[in-house]
Structure 1
Amino acid sequence: MNDIGSHWAKVAIETAVAKGYVKGYPDGTFKPNKEVTRAEFVKMVSDSLHLPVKPAAAGTKWYTPYVSALKAAALLQDSDLGTAWDGQMNRTEMSKLLVRGTDDAVRGKKLTDGEALYKSASVGLISGIADGTLNEKGTTTRAEAVAVIERLSTVRAGGKLTADKNAVQNAAIIYKGTNLEEVWGIKPVSLPFNLEINAKVEAALDKMIIVDLDDPKSPLRSNFKKLIRRSDEKVMNKDAYVVALHIKLKNSKVQSHTMFSFNTDAVLPYLNQGYNLAFEYENMDNFPILKGMWLDKIATQEGWYLMVVDKSIITKYPERKVPMLLTFSGVQLKLGEVIEG
């Protein structure tokens, strides 16, 4: 292949061509950055697994036998892919095939997008893109396709891959709503979680994200350009974690001339644990902070509530990795528990 000399997937491409499940073009190129279609990808996977493929029947599409072979092997379901077989394969669709090909527990079973992404990232089948995110709806190139198929082959042969921790965290947020377990080893409450803070509004926590300010690829890290610790107005940009809680509020009855604020009517950070309330002056449009709401009509609101904790506190007192909120009525809302072992 005369166009892969310095390409990051050179070895995988050469291996795939040698195995015979993918070919180059007549002009000697491979076109590694060309997007791969769903039909092309299922053929590549089927051939790489050496599945029995019958010749295409008259009047059927060329890829039909490969689709049938994958379905017969319980690796593909109709709900996995988009309807356009000549459309580009995205990373979520790709993950469903990969996971079923390596995990007998889910072979033949329907997978949600989040479950497929989380399971595939956790064993290293897929990794994040440059900024650490998954780009889960992004298209797949020919180079990426052969790279993941070679990873599939490695796992099926009993090999181990190195998981991309940021990809795993981002997948966990999509799948579970939180990366608490992946970052701190804490079992989170099941999300969404009803906070039950008072009778004025209903409050539900649906995302709980731990952000490492020292890792530029940590989930949500790019949102925090100027994070301020409220207790002393210190700018927090390193040596700390952010605990970002996404909360949905709803008042189910009209309460005239009444306003509700999550910060002043409901909870405080668990200050004696080292957590401090934080706020941000920049990027507010991209990362809306939870605001006060008037209750004179039935309404809903959602946004983020931020707490920040110095890493030294977590290092010295590892039991404080469990995020908590303290209501003004004195009720402690514990949002996780330490996983034994």
Structure 2
Amino acid sequence: MISLKRMTVCVVLGAILLGSATAVAESKLQEQIDKDEVIWTWRGFPVIDMDDHWAKRLFQWGISQNIINGYSDHSFKPDQAITEAEFLKMLYRAMGKAIPNANVSANRIYRSSESWTEGPYRIAKQYNHPTAGENNFAMRMSAITKVRAAEIISASQGVHYNGQDAIIYLMGHGLSNGEANLPEQFDAAGTFSRAEALQWIRQLAIHGNLKIYERPKVPTDLSLLPNTNDIAVKVIPDFSIEPVTAEDFNLFILDDFPNLKFGDTKSSIDERFGKSTEKTIFNSNMYPLFTAHFNQHGELDGWKTESDDYDFHYRVNLLHTNKGIVLGKSTLSDILTRYGTAGVSKQGIIEYYYKKMEDGTFQNISIYDPIKDIENVYTINFIVDYKTQVVNYIFVTSLKATLDY
């Protein structure tokens, strides 16, 4: 007889065992116990009535990062025109600001002093971001135009441009989320949907632009804008993937050092790199170039390396992945080119998940979807500095080791 036990857990994906600063993802695991065998199933991030919608994965990502939440009826209304207040809430949440949910009844009337919209508008005022609804409650609940959204996004990047100039700024920096390369093709006066707005924010994440800045009080010099004749259209897919092999889970070391291979025994690693005498709070062994975790059989099932202040010059340009991502040198752009954009989680956090198939190959999977058995699921993760966009943290692990079951 198979017994089922359901529980809600707070899981630091890919990080409990190795001490990453990655975001906590709250979801549900199902524990299935059959005799002495325990099988864990990841339930993912379901979205109601969006199975066939083009933006399903966008909303799963937005939910996982607490960027967006549903309405009181649990729907997400992806095709509904987004209001200015909703857009601000989504944008600022993506940038790490805590804002209450907008789960309110459409028939409920709020005074401005008690509205959920006060939070995002206080942030907009604090950072001098332009809004139509600061002193006009009705405008908060009106559909935002694309040009207003462009002004807000550009303002969040620390520049002060209005109208067409804000549009040109977004186009020149690849943040316009479309194929238009001229301002007149932008449909400035048009509105857009909640799904399209979330896609704009996804593009900010992919470009590493989710750090919030204050808009200068004085308009920014127009000469700093790109020439419209030089703007090249380049639409980056929201969730692209690149294939990996077993070699991609290994750590490569330059010079005369041997490489670190997933599945290596602790004794062989001690022999090559010197015996580890210290452990982290996550029960991982510390070596000069990396930290390693071993399963109950003494086999490597997770490792991390980072370029902190203490040993940065010692490790920089020395350690790299199979795809050539070099610690302390490669950038966010390098990661996305070689692994795909699907791994972008939030500002500076990039996480990829793969399932090992019966033939030994690895298949890219979405952590937002249900995973029937996480026994053979592995993750490759990076953290990049938000200022320089340079990789300062790499870790690889199995989900089994992460959940420590």
How high is the TM-score relative to the length of structure 1? Answer: 0.40
Specify the structure having the higher radius of gyration (Cα): 1
